[in-house]
Structure 1
């Protein structure tokens, strides 16, 4: 279905606002600056988004949708489990730990966490996303006997924790972006740790 002019305008605003939030942070990203870069009046901007918080939430949700879709498309369920997981982990780490809009927007949301409910609403909207797909894959491999008979949702929580282990340090600027080689090595380490914990030893 072809997007309407209003939809196209909204998407353009979100794209430009994403860049402004990433560049200037929440405080610096005024609605006036965003409106100027969009090429319209601030009043028009408010017709689409009644507040800067609503616009920030929209940018987060749009980014999350792209993030989830990219990860979902990287999953080839016809591959052996370890190949599925290491490919997924590597792509996830690239999106989290290499200089990206995802990382920058997370920093923006964290910066307003004490004064805004944007972060809370964001997590309520997105749910489990692609991690629900990973849980289903783990459940299938439990049934096939490749993994121990453990709760796949807990297994996913463990895997997420391994992938997110350095995220706080990254967001606080306490570590540089990872190189491609560092991403590959970390992905293999995470895979090894996860499989050591859950591989069916009777396989």
Structure 2
């Protein structure tokens, strides 16, 4: 094995190790919450020393930030890539609505949001990240798509796409997402989520479609 191959193999192993840590920590944070999850517990579950864990994440805050970023990319990255190539307004918005609702109903995202809500007052970096990489990221992805739809004459020219994107997300989250997030109720049947998705799209298009 030459030096370049060895470096590539070492880098891949390091990436895999980091992802293993993030995956284990995700489940532990969801199961036990932020306060009751320790770096020592994560290291024990992953297997290996705390020194190895700290070489990737200097503290629990950094680890939780990595968990949050990983989940945001896993659930919302595909939406961004889909919209980059999309052009059918109703079908595209319905796809986004279904994706948003599906993500919000997942144990990972709903658990993450509850932790973030509880910890944001004491963990400013987390609140900032959710504003930029969470809500802000999702709003911007949808806004960029709506700008293209406006240029194509699919929505009214007076539409402020930043505001419209936030309103669309709000419509998607106005029913079952609120119930699950606020009460811890189990996710509803798929057909009820489909009703929410279609209702959100219909209401949005009634206001903005040309």
Same fold (TM over 0.5): yes
Shift of 1:13: 0.7
Provide closer, same or farther for how the CA distance between residues 40 and 125 of structure 1 changes in structure 2, counting only shifts above 3 A. farther
Shift of 1:56: 0.6
TM-score by length of 1: 0.87
TM-score by length of 2: 0.84
Give the Cα–Cα distance (whole angstroms) in 1 for the partners of residues 106 and 142 of structure 2.
25
- Give 1 or 2: higher helix fraction: 2
Give the Cα–Cα distance (whole angstroms) in 2 for the partners of residues 79 and 143 of structure 1.
11
Give the Cα–Cα distance (whole angstroms) in 2 for the partners of residues 125 and 134 of structure 1.
14
Provide closer, same or farther for how the CA distance between residues 138 and 58 of structure 1 changes in structure 2, counting only shifts above 3 A. same
Q: Indicate the structure whose relative CO is greater, using CA pairs within 8 Å and at least 6 residues apart.
A: 1
Shift of 1:140: 2.2
Greater shift, 147-156 or 167-176, is seen at 167-176
Greater shift, 79-88 or 69-78, is seen at 69-78
**Number of residue pairs matched?**
199
The CA RMSD measured in Å over matched residues stands at 2.2
| Mapped pair 1:187 → 2:197 | yes
Give the Cα–Cα distance (whole angstroms) in 1 for the partners of residues 198 and 32 of structure 2.
35
Deviations 1:104-160 (A, max 9, x none): 111122222222224223235517334433223222222232211111111111111
Deviations 1:141-194 (A, max 9, x none): 222322111111111111111123244432222543122101111111001110
Gaps spanning 5+ residues in structure 1: where?
none
